[in-house]
A and B are shown apart, each in its own frame.
Chain A
């Protein structure tokens, strides 16, 4: 049973560029959440997708956008990259409306903005 997968593992971009990160949820899960984790900090919630719609959004600018596909996989897009966007981007999957609400995380994508 495959867990949450993310691609790519590492990415280096320059300021002003755009980036797309990808996530496939754990088998049986239908909800994907994205988090940003800066060095030495806890993960910060970006947004959550269910039924191909953004259900909840954290305190991130509109430069951060996402999408969920019919197979439940998801993309995170970041436009006009800033140096401060350098971080570990984590994807987590869960089952919407389930009795338990555990979110299972992927290995993350390390984004470096130069």
Chain B
């Protein structure tokens, strides 16, 4: 069964304290791995798509990496405005459509 596990569930950082969020996945064939940011009560906001092991994407203070079993979202020198829930999702090859399978997310709190 395809599944996604994110850790930790919650992470508290001081402003400027870099860290990483983990996304472990099990999927029969990976079409893509996606990272989203979600603010309370709002829809997820697309951040990155990764397609193959070794791939890296960057956007401002965020950098996403992918291996054959997991993905990391590295946050460098975070600011309070980076506080949000970060969701990881996978899309499998052997399916009729392009459904996303999500993890439960990591809730990040950055204090000044």
A contact residues vs B (CB 8 Å cutoff): 4, 31, 33, 35, 40-45, 48, 50, 55-56, 58, 88, 90, 92, 94, 96, 100-108, 110
B residues less than 8 Å from A31 (CB atoms)? 97-98
CB-CB under 8 A for A43 and B97, given A101-B49, A102-B34, A107-B43: no
- CB interface residues, B 33-49, toward A, < 8 Å: 34, 36, 41-46, 49
Pick the contact of B99 from A40, A56, A108 — CB < 8 Å? A56
User: Are the CB atoms of B31 and A101 closer together than 8 Å?
Assistant: yes
- Determine if B101 and A45 form an interchain contact, defined as CB atoms under 8 angstroms apart: yes
B98 touches A43 (CB 8 A): no
The verdict on B105 contacting chain A, using a C-beta distance below 8 Å, is: yes
Q: How far is the CA of A48 from the CA of B36 in the complex (A)?
A: 19
**Least Cβ–Cβ distance between A66 and chain B, in angstroms:** 13
Query: Beyond A31-B98, A56-B99, A102-B34, is A43–B49 a contact (Cβ under 8 Å)?
Result: no
- CB of A50 to closest CB in B, whole Å: 7
Checking B45, B91, B101 against A101 with a beta-carbon cut-off of 8 angstroms, the contacting residue is B91
29 contacts between A and B (CB under 8 A): A4-B43, A33-B97, A33-B98, A33-B99, A35-B102, A40-B104, A42-B87, A42-B102, A43-B102, A45-B100, A48-B97, A48-B98, A55-B97, A56-B95, A56-B99, A90-B44, A92-B100, A96-B98, A100-B32, A100-B49, A101-B31, A101-B32, A101-B49, A102-B34, A103-B34, A103-B46, A107-B42, A107-B43, A110-B41
